[in-house]
Structure 1
Amino acid sequence: MNYVTAEHLSKSYGLKVLFEDISFNINEGEKIAIVAKNGSGKSTLLKILMGKEIADQGSVLINKDIQVVLFDQEISFDPNLTVEEFMMTLDSAPIVALKNYHLSLTSTDHDFIEKALLEMEAHKAWDLENEMKQILSQLQITDLSVQMGKLSGGQVKRVALAKLLTETRAEHRHVLLIMDEPTNHLDVEMVEWLENYLSKQKITLLLVTHDRYFLDSVCDTIWEMEDAQLYIHKGGYATYLENKMIREENLDATIDKANNLYRKELEWMRRQPKARTTKSKSRIDAFYDTEKVAKTDTRKQSLELDFEMQRLGKKILELKHIDKAYGDNVLLKDFNYQFQRSEKVGIVGKNGAGKSTLLNIIQNLEKADSGTIETGETISFGYFSQKGLAFKEDERVIDFIKEKAEYYPLANGRSLSASQFLRLFLFDDQTQYSPISKLSGGEKRRLHLMYVLYQNPNFLIFDEPTNDLDLPTLTVLENFLLQFQGCLIIVSHDRYFMDRIVDHVLAFEGKGKIKNFVGNFTEYREWKKTQDSETKKLDEAKSKVSVEAISTPSQPKVSKKKLSFKEQRELELLEKEMPELEKKRDLILEALNNETDYDKIAGLSKDLETVSENLETSEMRWLELQEMLES
């Protein structure tokens, strides 16, 4: 089934052409990723498909039987709504049926109750509330009573993502799901869950993402937007790279042929008299077409640069017995680490685990509760934070960079001009002389990144550098960092980026514990999964032994006479009561798993706590009496 047909679309802003005369189809079941440099028109194309913007030329035909759903970077919401109320603002028929069903629970109107039940049945909405809660839980949103205005930016995005996924599940019509950078502000576990969720769901998806592992796992087609054109690649990221290389090689060959022809035709043009015949006019027109191809600039600035930075001394950075906590929330506990020359360290862990706090402590932007930090005299930090770039609205890109320095130093006395360095990071001449305020969000992030590198630090600290960066920029950055001779710390949830760059991982595992792991991120994840599996098996074995010991207590020995009559009676009662408490606990757990009413869940949770405490007390007393028997 065809969802979308677009023909001959063109869109420009002033002199900047985003795309020109592009055509495409989206069919049911396709999962498409868009890859392009920031500012190439990815978000504009999505808005045109959503009807939020209009193309300058061309047409978009959307099948009347489908619904288009967008997960955007900008999220609008009423800050006074609770999370649950925000989730229920969906206007799809199954959600409306669910809301009416909740109202019917306190209604005495039999006709309304009957209608609500029929709606629930008609829209198959019985399991929808459980699915909604499960999605929120996977995205670490557990308190549904908190107001949206009190959530962090990352939490708001996760709630909005949960709402969108619920809407997609609730709609039994055909849905085109459009997602713009869905993995930003998600930790690795959430990204992997979303990756698995989208890859298994039978949905039609159009996706903008910089996460290459995510892209490869979820999508089967890549749209490449470059030079105002759209190139379609069937396959994953590797296929796209191979096709792109072949296309560029073919283009270079075409340009070489055009250059040879251009030289001959130029000589002919110069010999022509001013009065030209109709026959020569067609050749003249062909000359200008050849000239356009011949002058196509496909040069890529090489990143094989010999950097000249301030040398690192013998002492670089050493942290000794660092502690940091906020109340009962322990982030760092007796943390020790000594950085070595040219070391590239990746820091990973859940949101709020203390990763950014450690970066601040290292740079003396925040004080540790205890411990010492020794920083070498030659260290020059370069910090790329999540706060963004401070700039004057009307300041041009090139002037902003030149304020720092006119040239970037290379070895042997050579240098790159500010303009050449900007070109390294994909800022063409036109963009360099544009006001910073005219840049897209991704282009501003790229400029911020380039500004940090241009200061020529010898110790780089990156806090989530890949958020909102496009894949071409990430490739440039990775090549730069692979040649970087200084020290590097990266906090990132981008698994591909971390695998390519880091050789050492510091993993925040909670309660101040930090695992020091030698290897890349994927190697750490595999090690962690193995450790978790072994721990789980060990816990299950211990639990099994404990259950067997309780359910089949050893036969009374002669030494049982050491127990008083009262103690003997107590032991016999415990052996009868414990199985009953276990059975009661299991029944409560089963009821909790099937319950959706919040008040009932709260009551059952309280009962479970009471029963569990009684069972634990009984087991401890039973063990004490057994020890008295065996002594």
Structure 2
Amino acid sequence: MHYVSAEGLTKSYGINPLFRNISFHINEGDKIALIARNGVGKSTLLRVLNGEETVDEGKIFIHKDVTVALFEQDPKFDETKTVLENIFHTNHPVLNVIREYELASESEDGEAMAELFGKMDDLNAWEFEVKVKQILTRLNIHHLEQPVSDLSGGQRKRVALAKTLIDIGFDHKHTLLMMDEPTNHLDVEMIEWLENYLNQENVTLLLVTHDRYFLDAVSEEIWELERENMYVYRGDYENYMEKKAARLESEQASIDKAKNEYRKELEWMRKQPKARTTKSKSRQDNFYEVESRAKQKIEDAQVQLQVKMSRLGGKVVEMKKVYKNYGDLQVLKAFDYTFSKGERIGIIGKNGVGKSTFMNMLQGLEPVTSGKINIGDTVVFGNFSQTGLVIKENMRVIEYVKTIAENFPLANGGSLSAAQFLELFLFSPDKQYTYLNSLSGGERKRLQLLTVLFANPNFLILDEPTNDLDLPTLAVLEKFLEEYQGCVMIVSHDRYFMDRLVDHLFVFEGDGEVRDFPGNYTQYRIWLKDNEKKDNKWDALQERKSKGETTESVVVNRASSTATASTNKAAAAPKKKMGFKEKREFELLEKEMPELEKEKAAITEQMGAGNLGFEELQKLSERIIVIDGLLAEKEMRWLELSEME
């Protein structure tokens, strides 16, 4: 089914066009990612399709049976109503009874729940209620009677996401779901759940995101807005990068060819007499077309990070038996750690377990309950926080920067004026004189990054730095951090960003426990899955024991394996002896399993080196999943054969 057709769309703000004469089509089942630099018009295009804005030129056709749903970066609510009333805002019998049931469930009103059971049955509302419950639980939405005006920014985002998902899941057969940065303010588990949910629901999707793993998981096509045009690429992000590079190379070759032709035609034009013939007039017209092509410029401006880093001495930070409590909530319990030069640490954990508190304590912004934090004399913290820019009054960008300093030292020994430094961060002279409140979210993030790097920090603390940054700026920031000689501590839901930059993780597990995991996020998830499998095997063994079977420990001397449990049948049960084929299979298994584990260890080490591209990381991650599956099968078969031996 054909959902949307757009022909010749043009949209400008003032004299600056966002896009010009673009055309596209969206069909049922399409999953499209829309990417561009900040300020180029991604969010504007979504609002145009949602009917919130109009274009200057062009036509849009949306099928009459299609419902358009837009999840925005800054969600809008009825501030006078509760979370529950905002989520179930549609007056429909099914939604009304589910709303009442959720409210009764939260308040544990057994009498009301019993009465609502019958209504739920009558309206066949149970299937949809299960979906609603899953959405609310997975997005950690509780206290449904709380006014939305009391919610934090992250809570508002999650409530808006729940509202959108419930809307599209109810009574809409044909929905175009448009999402503007849906992963901001979600933890990694929520993002992974959202990936699976969107894939299972088979929605038609138009998505704006900076999260490259999420982009690859849920989209099959990439649209890029660049230099007023739209370019379409089939496939994943890595394929987009390759195809874009080829396109730019081809365009540059075409411009170079036009320049050569232009020089020849310019010489001919200068030699021509004033009185021109009809034949030379056509050549003259062609000259102006060639001139236009020859004078095209492929602008690929990028943020330039060339700041100077303060010298970092031998002593960085020591944390000794640090405790932190908020009443009954334990954030840290006897935490010991000594930071070294050049460490790159990722911090992960569910919301509310103390990640931000930990970083504030490290910088002396929050007191410890007990214990000591000793900070080296040469340490200069650079804090890129989620709170963003703190502005007392509205002012122009250049005025704000000059309140910090007039000149800024660079890594190469030189210095730049405030205006020149702003240009490194893609603030043109015109943009420097705009007011701060008129900046986009991404522009504010760039300005915040600039102010953090002004102080020449040697210990960077980055709390969700990828929110609202466009992909080109993210790529530059990643390259800068890879070469940065100081310490880096990162809290981020962007798994690609974490995988590329961190050497090890502080995993906040709750109740004050922090695990120091040696590896990046993908390696940690693999480790978790391995442990889940071991736990499942242990549970299976315990179940067999409860049924009267005996268990004996079997130690297998393999290169990188650990002790594995083995089970025998009950003594009364007759044993089947190994035949030649089984013995041969058993011998092969004892050779194959160490080889698979050796390959897995090599891949894990390769992924931890931090020098792989996205496509290589993806392939290696997929190979590890395959290896884990093979090992699980072979280990179970080995256990079966070992019982026969």
**What is the TM-score of this pair, normalised by structure 1?**
0.78
Question: Do the aligned residues in 2 keep the contact of 1:505 with 1:517 (CA within 8 Å)?
Answer: yes
User: 1:11·1:17 contact (CA, 8 Å) conserved in 2?
Assistant: yes
Q: Distance in 1 between matches of 2:121 and 2:355?
A: 51
Name the counterpart of 1:563: none
State the partner residue of 1:480. 480
- Aligned amino acid, residue 501 of structure 1: L
1:397 aligns with 2:397: yes
Distance (whole Å) between structure 1 residues aligned to residue 101 and residue 369 of structure 2: 53
Aligned residue for 1:186, secondary structure, equals coil
Relative to structure 1, the CA distance from residue 428 to residue 233 in structure 2 (aligned partners, 3 Å threshold; closer, same or farther) is farther
Q: 1:297 to 1:542 in 2, by over 3 A?
A: same
Shift of 1:401: 3.6
Query: How far is 1:535 from its partner?
Result: 3.8
**Residues 12-67 of structure 1, C-alpha deviations (whole Å, 9 max, x = no match):** 00122100000000000001111111101011000100100000000111000111
SS of the residue corresponding to residue 159 of structure 1 reads helix
Deviations 1:298-339, CA, capped at 9 Å, x for gaps:
365688987642211011111111111111111111111211
Contact 2:304 2:424 in 1 (8 A): no
Structure 1: how far apart are the matches of 2:517 and 2:230? 42
Q: How does 1:234-245 map to 2 (within 5 A)?
A: 234-245=234-245
CA distance in 1, matches of 2:336, 2:99: 53
State the distance in 1 between where 2:337 and 2:281 align.
75
Q: Where does 1:156-171 land on structure 2 (aligned, <5 Å)?
A: 156-171=156-171
The aligned length equals: 536
1:182 corresponds to = 182
Shift of 1:83: 3.3
Whichever residue aligns with residue 524 of structure 1, its letter is Y
1:627 paired residue number: none
| CA distance in structure 1 between the aligned counterparts of 2:470 and 2:102, rounded to whole angstroms | 44
- Aligned mates of 2:198, 2:28 — CA distance in 1: 15
Distance 1:460 1:214 in 2: 26
* Corresponding residue number in structure 1 for 2:123: 120
Which residue of 2 is the match for residue 592 of structure 1? none
Amino acid at match of 1:43: S
| Structure 1 residues 527 and 118: CA distance shift in structure 2, 3 A | closer
What is the match of residue 263 of structure 1?
263
1:210/1:471 contact within 8 Å kept: yes
> Percent identity of the aligned residues?
54
**Letter matched to residue 365 of structure 1:** L
Inter-CA distance 312–535: structure 2 relative to 1 (3 Å threshold): same
What secondary structure sits across from 2:5 in the alignment? strand
Shift of residue 528 of structure 1?
Answer: 2.3
- Alpha-carbon offset, residue 120 of structure 1: 2.8
Q: Quickly say closer, same or farther: Cα 1:410–1:74, change in 2 above 3 A.
A: closer
The amino acid across from 2:336 in the alignment is N
Corresponding residue for residue 582 of structure 1 = none
Q: Counterparts in 2 of 1:349-388, with a 5 A limit?
A: 349-388=349-388
* CA pair 226-326 structure 1, distance change in 2 beyond 3 A: same
Paired residue type of 2:123: M
- Larger mean Cα displacement after TM superposition, 383-392 or 338-347: 383-392
Equivalent in the alignment of 1:25: 25
SS at match of 2:123: helix
Match of 2:35 in 1: 35
The corresponding residue for 2:566 is none
Aligned 8 A contact 1:322 1:334 in 2? yes
Offset, 1:118: 11
**Higher mean displacement: 170-179 or 209-218:** 170-179
Pairwise CA distance, 1:538: 3.7
Corresponding residue for residue 196 of structure 1: 196
Say which is worse superposed, 211-220 or 143-152, in terms of deviation.
143-152
Q: Match of 2:443, as an amino acid?
A: E
Question: 1:343, CA displacement in angstroms?
Answer: 1.2
Q: For residues 392-445 of structure 1, what are the alpha-carbon distances to aligned partners after superposition, in whole Å with 9 as ceiling and x for unaligned?
A: 876443454455445554455345565555454444454345443332122111
1:201 to partner: Cα distance = 1.6
Return the TM-score normalized by structure 2: 0.76
Asked if 1 retains the 8 angstrom alpha-carbon contact of 2:307 and 2:453, the reply is no
Q: Distance in 1 between matches of 2:94 and 2:286?
A: 61
- Go from structure 1 to structure 2 and tell me whether the alpha carbon gap of 1:120 and 1:444 turns closer, same or farther (over 3 Å shift): same
Report how far residue 476 of structure 1 moved. Answer: 1.4
**Structure 2 gap segments, 5+ residues each:** 104-115, 550-645
Which whole-Å deviations, capped at 9, do the CAs of 1:480-523 have from their partners, x for residues lacking one? 11111111111111101111111121111111111111211111
Label 1:274 to 1:445 Cα distance change in 2 as closer, same or farther (>3 A).
farther
1:321 aligns with 2:321: yes
Query: Which residue is equivalent to 2:63?
Result: 63
- Report the counterpart of residue 467 of structure 1 in structure 2: 467
Equivalences for 1:140-539 in 2 at 5 Å?
140-270=140-270, 283=283, 285-298=285-298, 300=300, 308-391=308-391, 395-405=395-405, 408-411=408-411, 413-415=413-415, 418=418, 421-538=421-538
Q: Distance in 2 between matches of 1:148 and 1:394?
A: 27
**How far apart are the structure 2 equivalents of 1:272 and 1:409?**
55
Larger radius of gyration: 1
